[in-house]
Amino acid sequence: MLSVRELEPRRLWNHFTDLNSVPRPSKKEEQVIQFAKNFGESLGLETIVDSIGNVIIRKPATSGMEDRLPIVMQSHLDMVCQKNEKTAFDFESQGINMFVDEDWVKADGTTLGADNGIGVAAIMAILSSKEIGHPSLEALFTIDEETGMTGAIGLEPGMLSGRILLNLDTEEDNELTIGCAGGVDITLSSEYESSPAPSDSIAYQLDIRGLKGGHSGVDIHLGRANANQWMNRLIWHASSTADAKIGSIEGGGLRNAIPRESSAVLAIPTDKTLAFEKCINEQSRQLLGEYESTDPDAKIEYRQVAEKVSIVDETFQTDLLSTLYTCPNGIYRMSPDIQDLVQTSNNLARVLVNKGCLEIGCLTRSSVNSERDDLANAIQVSFQKFGGDVRLGGKYPGWAPRPESKIVHLMSGLYRELFDEDAHVAACHAGLECGILGRHYPEMEMISFGPNIFGAHSPDERVQISSVQKFWRFLLETLQRIPTTA
Angle, CA of 400, 81 and 464, to the nearest 5°: 70
- Check residue 13 and report its DSSP letter: H
Determine which one of 145, 173, 185, 433 is catalytic.
145
Q: How many other C-beta atoms are found inside a 10 Å radius of the C-beta of residue 428?
A: 23
* Catalytic position from the list 29, 78, 185, 445: 78
The residues that bridge with 411 in the sheet, in sequence order, are none
> Cβ contacts of residue 202 below 8 Å, gap of 6+?
267, 268, 269, 270, 273, 304
Neighbours of 36 (CB within 10 A): 28
Q: If 0-12 CB within 10 Å is exposed, 13-18 middle and 19+ buried, where does residue 421 land?
A: exposed
Residues 411, 401: Cα–Cα separation, whole Å? 15
What's the rounded Cα separation, in Å, for the pair 455 and 459?
A: 7
Distance, CA of 446 to CA of 410 (rounded, Å): 12
- Burial class of residue 363 (count of CB atoms within 10 Å of its CB; 0-12, 13-18, 19+): buried
Contact 128, 41 (CB under 8 A): no
Has 145 been annotated as catalytic?
Answer: yes
Helix/strand/coil for 348? strand
User: Is 185 part of the annotated catalytic residue set?
Assistant: no
Residues 6+ apart with CB under 8 A from 266: 203, 204, 205, 206, 235, 238, 244, 245, 246, 247, 276, 309
Catalytic residues: 78, 145
